[in-house]
A and B are shown apart, each in its own frame.
Chain A
Amino acid sequence: MGLLSDPNRRRALISLLTRLNSPICVVCYMAGVAWFMGLAFEPFTLRTYMSENAMGSTMVEERFPAGERALTTGREFSAHKKKAGGMPVDWLVKTMQARGLEVFTQRFSRKLPFPDENKERYMVKGTNVYGILRAPRAPRTEALVLSAPCTPGDSNNQAVGLLLGLAQYFRNQIYWAKDIIFLVNEHDLIGMQAWLEGYHHTNTTGMDWSPLQGRGGSIQAALSLELSSDVITSMDLVLEGLNGQLPNLDLANLFYAFCQKIGVLCTIQGKLQRNDWDSVSGYSHSVQTMMLMVMKQASGRPWGDHGLFLRYHIEAASIKGINSFRQYKTDVTTIGRLLEGMYRKLNNLLERLHQSYFFYLMPSLSHFVSIGYYMPAFGLLAVILLLRALDLWVQLVSSPGVLSVLTPLVISHLTGVALYTLPIQFQEMAVEQFPVSETEAVVLTAIGYNVFLFIYIGWRVLKLVAVLYLAVLLGCTALINFSLGFILALTLVPVAAFVTPHVPKVLSAFILVILSPACTLLFSVFFFQELQELPVSFQEGWLLYLSVISQGILDHFLYGSLVYPLIALLVYPCWLLFWNILFWK
């Protein structure tokens, strides 16, 4: 640290950094991207391993026998669901009571801020039914949750059947140390949100729900089950939750370990694991898997009913049964045994799952990238901003007036506030005046304005502030949600690095628009479809894009997702500052 005390060497270093600023920035960017792509390469990743000793060496035997009966119950449920035209509350209550559970119901209702066209709902009313298996000689302090959504139509009946079958089987066992809550929630995430808010007696989103009558203490872990066919070919694990939160890696390890033990094919992001990591196709496969996870995490949505548990520090995951055209089929008894094994191990837990990682990416179910490995990729991108800031600082001759930057900052943030509030405010008006669909109205009002700001101050000061602002913003985002931070950094960092008033205006403006958050989202939509091997035409893509935006806004209002306010209130104003710099006069 001679730098502090030796003015000569300090000067030399700074001159080196300013002289070679652009090449260093380019190298950093390339290195960042390369590092990120390297994360999916198997030799660079770690094998997953069970960190929690309580779940590791202890052996459990799976004996669940009643798969066929569970399917019969599922069919019965389906019949009653059709008859009731929704959740068959009375039947469920009776069935759960017959299985020896303490049964309770919860009613909830929610008016959406604007109609949801994907799921065709606006005024939502529903009932959750849950039964608690009281653990013998346990004082109601800990609980585990198994949930299955009651979805309209024919899907997910088998999940409810299996849930009830497991309830019956679990009830006769003596070894439970934690209460087990069997939950059937209506209206998928909205019902789950109502139940969780009721359980924890909070109200973050303004939903109406009736208070819960029975509880089981603090919930240690939860699984959400989705199963729509009598036999399956593989089980898919979904981890991504609200705001990109992930459950403890041990939950994924547990699932993987039992799939291996019982011999069920298991996937993550719907992708099977491959052994040929040294071939190009093998590598691209794991890149695809990892990129899917990054995209899903960056979206900040809960990708299954489990997603909302994570806010309450409850480790949760969704398990989906997938029936494809493979030959080898797995029956419901086996899935029941898989779940039984997982619950017995979770039952053995002495502490909450905390031993393993909370921040990770998974290029396959057996390998993971921990935070220590993926953060450098982001760090390399973020260092570009710091280098540019240093360059600008050195170039500033006179001491900058801080107040002069205030006006553009305030104006751009006011625009951000407008972007945040106006879509909901004006969507009604837009619908009245133009024959556009609700979703489009929301989105069009959202992207309707691109404000040109012309404020006359020294652009270097403004840019310095903007670059530092972006660095802090991206740094904080990446700490909470790495994927979102990284994707934003990929597009915004080049913009921040090259924009000056002296570059060609039209071309730069075009690039700036292409790299704006809105366009990033558009590309992401196409890219995501491509990764899922469901390519879409531009027309479909555009519609999808609109619906994704409206879903994002809904997620914010319904579940408290933070991506929409983050983009509208912070990222977008920041991007406007760069736009401002470009059109400097």
Chain B
Amino acid sequence: MAAHRCSNCAALLILCSLSVFIVVDSQETTLNGGHHATTVHNPQTTTGTAEQTAEPAVEERRWEATAVEEATPDDDDDAAASDKQDTSAPETVDPSSVPQPKDDFQEELVIRPLHSGDIYASFQFRTVWETDFMRGNKVSHYRLFPKSLGQVISKFSVRELHISFTQGYWRTMQWGQPFQPSPPGAELWVWFQDSVTDVDGTWKELTNVLSGIFCASLNFIDSTNTVQPSASFKPLGIGNETDHRFLRYATLPREIVCTENLTPWKKLLPCGSKAGLAVLLKSEKLFHSSFHSQAVHIRPVCQDWQCKTTSWELRQTLNVVFDLHNSAQGKREWSLFKMFSRTLTEACPLASSSKIYIDITDNPQGEQFEVSPATPLLSQAVVLGDRRTFSVYDLTQQITFGTVRSLNLLIRWKSSEGDMLRPLLHAERYVAGYGLQTGEIHTLMYNNHPYRSFPVLLLDSVPWYLRLYIHTLTVTSKGKDNKPSYIHYQPSKDRLRPHLLEMLVQLPPNSVTEVTVQFERALLKWTEYTPDPNHGFYVGSSVISSLVPSIVAMDTNSTRERPLFSSFFPCKEESSYFVRVYTEPLLVNLPTPDFSMPYNVICLTCTVVAVGYGSLYNLLTRSFQIEEPSPGLAKRIANIIRKMRGVPPL
């Protein structure tokens, strides 16, 4: 029952604002453990040795594995299934029977070959530590958990911290949904403990400290780009405080991510980049890619299934997409060496689990691509509403590395056919109009689901120098006005805070919903311009959070493999999944003076003042009097004579 409480709690937190609008059939979830229900994946796991052909056995074991899974303290909502357990792996025994270590480290890599020929690699490193930073006792002994972050948590009373650095834009239409979405540039959102009194001050200090830890310009986060979203960002860990006064959210779309951010990020790992999967993280290859994103998530999680005490979870993720044309010279063949210029020789000795997953869902019979060396281990999980099959390589087993003592996975495409399932939700944004006075921001949200409509939460944070005309806000889908059911708008204050616009919009099936709002470009003070004002000014990505109806529910084939009694009502966990989509940031030109102008202006003003004001001043202050014309010579002589005679002069 405790598991239930815990799970409902997690579900509540994530869904807090959304769940009202979602029809969830909670009746049917008791069997599968509702605590994974509304998160982005569910813990359907397969025993490793299961053959593809032995369908009933797989089914049976999958359910068993789920029961085991329920008991573990994982309540991930990120993707990629760090909780896919292989019963064949020795360390994965029922946790209730063996006492848990005080801290635990897991690492894994998911590789997904994409239809475009590109390849997507997603690293996750997870450290869980049963400690409490918040109690009075000072935590001084650190083992796996990085001390720098531990101190940050205790000093600033952080409850949850999510930070991501991304270089590039995730191409949803070509690559599908990512496991961990992130906007271009840097994104930071933090929930503080409710004991914090001066949230803004703490936030300011925190950003400066993080700026130092990650070698990034996070110190540029100030009140002009910080917002407090009311609904879009809910805590992902345990806890039921959802008062958004304790939430701060900021993005820096201009932040450029490079080696100097990767190095401190790698240093947080227990093995550094010396051993384990982190050996692959070489910057010269990681930054020779189409997309690079690294993130750190810290949150409290339940320690055990009773959830009496909490642990801290640190999750470091790194996502990278390598390009077919640039990195592979157009050849549809990928290997670990080609991607990272390294091969794997060992797992991190400190890791309790170290695995590589390869997504082979689209390749069940091996007709699309072949993977070598082959592995007998298979795993299945519902990721982002889609049931995926993975080949698993366990790095803690020596047999994985074979006779050459090194693992160099090779994926060779056989055909380039096959279409990607269109992502059900994607969005784009652009600035319309021309000229430097006004403009219009258009946000397009696509619902590609053939028959289901679903609500999305749109979060827009626009800097103050674009003065939004909120009365021009329109939301249209299919040519008709689409009235948002919830609008939270906080107007900007010049030089103090940005606009914040949050809306709950229902997207009709198979439609495009367009949100437009006009704005005026402000004229900045001349010291407020950046050193490169003609580059333009950035407006951060809009965030679209949604519960998207699952693809699994669309698929009638999946019900065939299951007992009939279990598949009449659509399962809650499969009916929808949580997705966050970021639009592209905008680059907006503001009216920019010619900065060589001050010199000209000084010259011109001086001239105008000297000439215009001078003569006007002259006119105003001069006293005018009629001047006697000077007498002629004859008259003067006459006057002298008259003076001598004593007669008054003429």
Interface residues in chain A, defined as those with a beta carbon under 8 Å from any beta carbon in chain B = 1-2, 4-5, 100, 102, 134, 136-142, 171-174, 200-202, 214-215, 217-218, 311-313, 350-352, 354
Contact = CB atoms under 8 A, between A and B. Distances in A.
B168 A138 contact: yes
Contacts of A350: 532, 535
Interface stretch (B102-110, B189-197, B401-409, B426-434): B426-434
30 contacts: A1-B612, A1-B614, A2-B615, A4-B616, A5-B618, A100-B324, A100-B325, A102-B174, A136-B289, A137-B287, A137-B290, A139-B184, A139-B185, A139-B253, A141-B538, A141-B587, A142-B587, A172-B330, A200-B433, A201-B430, A217-B430, A217-B584, A217-B587, A312-B434, A313-B435, A313-B436, A350-B535, A351-B533, A351-B535, A354-B534
Nearest to B324: A100
B291 interface: yes
Q: Which 5 A-B pairs have the closest CB atoms?
A: A139-B184, A201-B432, A351-B534, A1-B615, A137-B168
B633 interface: no
B488 interface: no
B586 interface: yes
Chain B contact-residue range equals 35 or more
A136 B326 contact: yes
Contacts of A201: 430, 432-433, 440, 442
Interface of B: 167-169, 171, 173-174, 184-185, 253, 287-292, 323-326, 329-330, 428, 430-436, 440, 442, 532-536, 538, 584-589, 592, 611-612, 614-616, 618-619, 622
A217 B586 contact: yes
Contacts of B589: 218, 313, 352
Contacts of A352: 534-536, 589
Contacts of B622: 5
B434 A200 contact: yes
Nearest to A2: B615
Contact of A171 (B167, B325, B435): B325
B168 A202 contact: no
Contacts of A217: 430, 584, 586-587
Nearest to B431: A218
A4 B532 CA distance: 45
Nearest to B432: A201
B615 A4 contact: yes
B432 A200 contact: yes
Nearest to A3: B615
Contacts of A100: 324-325
A172 B585 CA distance: 25
A454 B70 CA distance: 99
Nearest to B436: A313
B87 to A, nearest CB: 40
Nearest to A54: B532
Contacts of B536: 141, 218, 352
Given A137-B289, A201-B433, A215 B614 contact: no
Contacts of A141: 536, 538, 584-587
A172 B331 CA distance: 12
A255 to B, nearest CB: 21
A392 B597 CA distance: 38
Contacts of A137: 167-168, 287, 289-292
A136 B611 contact: no
Contacts of A136: 168, 289-291, 323, 326
B480 to A, nearest CB: 16
Contact of A173 (B169, B326, B587): B326
Contacts of A142: 587
A272 to B, nearest CB: 34
Given A202-B434, A354-B534, A172 B287 contact: no
Identify the interface centre among B174, B325, B440, B614: most chain A CB within 10 Å of its CB: B325
Contacts of B173: 102
A354 B595 CA distance: 11
A232 B618 CA distance: 70
Contacts of B431: 218
Contacts of A312: 434
A442 B291 CA distance: 57
Contact of A134 (B171, B184, B430, B616): B171
A5 B174 contact: no
Contacts of B616: 4
Nearest to A349: B535
A311 B433 CA distance: 11
Contacts of B533: 351
Contact of A140 (B169, B326, B436): B169
A202 B174 contact: no
B329 A172 contact: yes
A326 to B, nearest CB: 38
A396 B330 CA distance: 83
Nearest to A179: B169
A181 B648 CA distance: 100
B325 A140 contact: no
A201 B611 CA distance: 49
Given A1-B611, A5-B622, A313-B435, 14 more contacts: A134-B169, A134-B171, A138-B169, A141-B586, A141-B587, A200-B434, A201-B442, A202-B434, A215-B430, A217-B586, A218-B431, A218-B536, A311-B434, A313-B436
